[in-house]
C-alpha cells in the first residue's frame, strides 16, 4: 500500500444496464496509467432485483450466475464478466477489493412465523410490546441456485431481527425471540444497541451462521481471486465475528489480504475503540475527516482551517486510515448525504493525495462524473495523481497556522530525483506563505501545476520560498523541470 491510490469504482446512480463489469475491464489500462493501484468494486452479489446497487443483498453465492430475482446478471453484469474484469485489473497490477455486505439479507423466498418483541427504535434494549407471533420474510432456499456452492438454507432463527409483519402489514423493529436470541454485543452503542440496521438482520451469535459466513468469505475470496475487501456496515456486526472472518480468509489468501471497514461514525473515540477491539486487523475510513471537510466546504471563510484535522483518524491511527472526500453514501440524495461542496474538492483531494498519512480513496463520481455529466474535477485529479507519484515523497511539515490560508510541505527523498512539493490552500482571500523546502533547494525555480498561479518562485538562500494561492483555491508547487520551458 506504500503510496497506493484506491478508487471507489462506482457511485449510486450508474446505469443498471449490466454493462459495468465490461466498462471496468476496458478501463483497466487507463486506471493504471493515471496511477490507481487498487479498486473497490461495488457489491457483486445478487440483490433484490437487477437494479439493486447490491446492498439489498439476496444471495451471497450468486455473483450473476443463476436465474434468481428474475435475472441472471446483477446491476453490473454477469459473474463471467466480473471475473474477466478482475483478471484484466490484475494484468495491470491493480488490486481488487470487493464490497462485502454481511449485516443483512433481503428479498426472502418465503415467509415464516416466529415470536418477536417490538423494541423502541431509539433504544433497542427497551421492549415496547409483549411477545407475539409475526409472519416475517426470513426463509431463503435459493430455488434458482439450489445447492451449488452451498446447501445452507436460511430460517428465522438465523436472524436477530426484522422490520415487517406480513400478517398485518405493519412495520416496526421486531427482535426475534427464542433460545439464546438477543442483539449482538460488540456492535455500536448508538440507539442503545445498533445491531439492527435494515431488512432481516443476520444473527452473528448463531454458530451455524458464523460457520456459513466464514465459508462464504473464503469461497468468494478464492473464486474471484480478491486482494481484499471493503466490509460494509461493520458498526452493526459483532466485532468478534469480523475478527474470526478475516483470520480465516488470511489463512487461505495470505496475511497481506487487505480489509477496510465502513464504520460510519463521526466520533473518533468509537473508531479508536473499534480498532482496539479488533486488534488493528483492519483499516477504517476516516469519517471524521470527511465531516470536517464537509463543514469546511459549507462554511467557507468562516471555517478555521486550523481545525481541519481535529479528531481525524489520520492523525490518531495513520497506519489504519483510508482517507476519502466523498462516497456513494455521502453523495447528493443518498442516505448519509454530506457531499463536500465542489469549490472545496480540489483542496480536499490536494490534502488526501499529497499528504504523507493515510491511504487515499478517490470517488468514481469525482473522476468520471454523474449521470453522463462530466466531472469538473477530473483534470485536477489527474494533476494531483501525477504529483503524488512524482513529487509527494519524504517528510511532511505543516503550516496550518492561519484560519484561512494553510499549507504543507513534502521535503522529498533521495529515491525520487527533484521530489518535494509545496501545497497551499485558501478558504478566504488570496494568500501567501513562506515555507521551508530544504537548504539544498536554494536557487531552484518552482512553478504551480494546477494552473492557479502563473508566477514562479525562486527558493532563497535559506531554503525558503514565498508561495501564493488565490482565494478559495488550491495551489501545488514543485520544482520546474530544467529542460523544458513549457508549462505542463
Residue 426 interacts with Ca ion (CB under 5 A): yes or no: no
Query: Nearest-5° angle of CA 337, CA 339, CA 344?
Result: 165
Does the protein bind Ca ion through residue 124 (CB under 5 A)? no
Report the SS3 class of residue 241: helix
233 or 246: CB nearest Ca ion:
233
By beta-carbon proximity to Ca ion, the closer residue of 236 and 290 is 236
Minimal distance in Å, beta carbon 76 to Ca ion? Answer: 25
Q: Is residue 377 a contact point for Ca ion (CB under 5 A)?
A: no
Q: Residues binding Ca ion: what is the number (CB under 5 A)?
A: 4
Q: Does 59 bind Ca ion (CB under 5 A)?
A: no
The stretch among 12-20, 231-239, 328-336, 401-409 that binds Ca ion (CB under 5 A) is: 231-239
Binding span for Ca ion by CB under 5 A among 14-22, 220-228, 229-237, 404-412: 229-237
Contacts of 4 (CB under 8 A, 6+ apart): 37, 38, 95, 359
Which residue out of 27, 65, 212, 262 is catalytically annotated?
262
Cα gap 276→272, rounded to integer Å: 6
Which CB sits closer to Ca ion, 76 or 159? 159
Burial of 487 (C-beta count, 10 Å sphere; 0-12/13-18/19+): exposed
Work out which of 11, 50, 59, 195 binds Ca ion, going by CB under 5 A.
195
Over the window 199 to 228, marking each residue x when it contacts Ca ion by CB under 5 A and - when it does not, the resulting string is --x---------------------------
**CB of 204 vs Ca ion, minimal distance in Å:** 7
Could you give the CA distance from residue 46 to residue 241 in angstroms, rounded to a whole number? 23
Distances in Å between the Cα of 455 and the Cα atoms of 248, 445, 470 are 56, 10, 12
Query: What distances in angstroms separate CA 234 from CA 12, 196, 231, 240, 428, one per listed residue?
Result: 20, 11, 6, 11, 38
Nearer to Ca ion, 262 or 448 (CB): 262
Catalytic residue (choose from 11, 212, 232, 239): 232
> Buried (b) or exposed (e) across 381-417, using 16+ Cβ within 10 A?
bebbbbbbbbbbbbebeebbeeebbbbbbbbbeeeee
Q: Smallest gap, in angstroms, from Cβ of residue 184 to Ca ion?
A: 6
SS3 462: coil
| 449, three cell numbers | 501545476
* Nearest approach, Cβ of residue 201 and Ca ion (Å): 4
Is 103 a binding residue for Ca ion by CB under 5 A? The answer is yes
List, in order, residues 6 or more apart from 249 with CB less than 8 Å away.
Answer: 217, 218, 221, 229, 257
CB of residue 237 to Ca ion, shortest distance in Å? 5
Q: Does residue 366 bind Ca ion (CB under 5 A)?
A: no
By CB under 5 A, residue 236 contacts Ca ion = yes
Residue with cell 481488487: 96
Rounded to a whole number of angstroms, the minimum distance from the CB of residue 159 to Ca ion is 9
Is 232 catalytic? The answer is: yes
Nearer to Ca ion, 118 or 201 (CB): 201
Q: Which three cell numbers stand for residue 476?
A: 501545488
Q: Is 84 part of the annotated catalytic residue set?
A: no
Nearer to Ca ion, 13 or 243 (CB): 243
Taking the least distance from each CB to Ca ion, the nearer of 62 and 188 is: 188
CA distances from 144 to 59, 79, 110, 215, 225 (A): 10, 15, 14, 20, 24
Residues classed as catalytic: 232, 262
Residues in contact with Ca ion by the rule CB under 5 A:
103, 195, 201, 236
Amino acid at each position: 500500500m506504500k503510496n497506493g491510490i484506491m478508487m471507489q469504482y462506482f457511485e449510486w446512480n450508474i446505469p443498471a444496464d449490466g454493462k459495468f463489469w465490461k466498462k471496468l475491464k476496458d478501463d483497466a489500462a487507463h486506471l493504471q496509467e493515471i496511477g490507481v493501484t487498487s479498486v473497490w468494486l461495488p457489491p457483486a452479489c445478487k440483490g433484490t432485483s437487477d437494479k439493486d446497487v447490491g446492498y439489498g443483498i439476496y444471495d451471497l453465492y450468486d455473483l450473476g450466475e443463476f436465474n434468481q430475482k428474475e435475472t441472471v446478471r446483477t446491476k453490473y453484469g454477469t459473474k463471467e464478466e466480473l471475473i474477466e474484469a478482475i483478471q484484466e485489473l490484475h494484468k495491470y497490477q491493480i488490486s481488487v477489493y470487493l464490497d462485502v455486505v454481511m449485516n443483512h439479507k433481503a428479498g426472502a423466498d418465503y415467509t415464516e412465523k416466529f415470536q418477536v418483541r417490538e423494541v423502541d427504535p431509539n433504544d433497542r434494549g427497551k421492549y415496547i410490546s409483549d411477545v407475539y407471533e409475526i409472519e416475517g420474510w426470513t426463509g431463503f432456499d435459493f430455488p434458482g441456485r439450489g445447492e451449488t456452492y452451498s446447501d445452507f438454507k436460511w430460517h428465522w432463527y438465523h436472524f436477530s431481527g426484522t422490520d415487517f409483519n406480513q400478517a398485518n402489514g405493519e412495520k416496526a423493529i421486531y427482535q426475534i425471540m427464542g433460545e439464546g436470541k438477543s442483539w449482538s454485543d460488540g456492535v455500536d452503542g448508538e440507539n442503545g444497541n445498533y445491531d439492527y440496521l435494515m431488512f432481516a438482520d443476520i444473527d452473528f451469535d448463531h454458530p451455524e451462521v458464523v460457520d456459513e459466513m466464514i465459508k462464504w468469505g473464503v469461497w468468494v475470496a478464492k473464486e474471484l481471486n480478491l486482494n481484499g475487501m471493503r466490509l460494509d456496515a461493520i458498526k452493526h456486526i459483532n466485532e468478534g465475528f469480523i475478527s474470526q472472518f478475516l483470520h480465516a480468509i488470511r489463512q487461505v489468501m495470505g496475511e497481506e489480504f487487505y480489509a477496510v471497514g465502513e464504520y460510519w461514525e463521526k466520533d473518533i473515540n468509537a473508531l479508536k475503540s473499534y480498532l482496539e477491539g479488533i486488534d488493528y486487523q483492519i483499516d477504517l475510513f476516516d469519517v471524521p475527516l470527511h465531516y470536517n471537510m464537509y463543514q469546511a466546504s459549507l462554511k467557507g471563510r468562516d471555517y478555521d482551517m486550523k481545525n481541519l484535522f481535529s479528531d481525524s483518524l489520520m492523525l490518531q491511527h495513520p497506519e489504519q486510515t483510508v482517507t476519502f472526500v466523498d462516497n456513494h453514501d455521502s453523495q447528493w440524495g443518498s442516505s448519509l448525504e454530506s457531499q463536500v461542496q465542489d469549490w472545496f474538492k480540489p483542496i480536499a483531494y490536494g490534502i488526501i493525495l499529497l499528504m504523507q498519512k493515510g491511504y487515499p480513496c478517490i470517488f468514481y463520481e469525482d473522476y468520471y462524473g454523474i449521470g453522463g455529466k462530466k466531472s469538473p474535477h477530473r483534470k485536477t485529479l489527474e494533476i494531483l495523481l501525477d504529483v503524488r507519484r512524482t513529487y509527494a515523497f519524504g517528510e511532511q511539515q505543516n503550516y496550518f497556522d492561519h484560519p484561512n490560508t494553510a499549507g504543507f510541505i513534502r521535503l522529498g527523498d533521495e529515491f525520487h530525483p527533484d521530489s518535494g512539493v509545496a501545497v497551499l490552500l485558501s478558504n478566504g482571500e488570496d494568500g501567501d506563505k513562506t515555507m521551508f523546502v530544504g537548504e539544498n533547494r536554494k536557487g531552484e525555480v518552482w512553478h504551480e501545476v494546477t494552473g492557479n498561479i502563473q508566477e514562479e518562485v525562486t527558493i532563497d538562500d535559506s531554503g525558503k520560498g514565498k508561495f501564493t494561492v488565490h482565494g478559495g483555491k488550491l495551489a501545488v508547487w514543485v520544482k520546474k523541470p530544467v529542460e523544458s520551458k513549457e508549462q505542463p
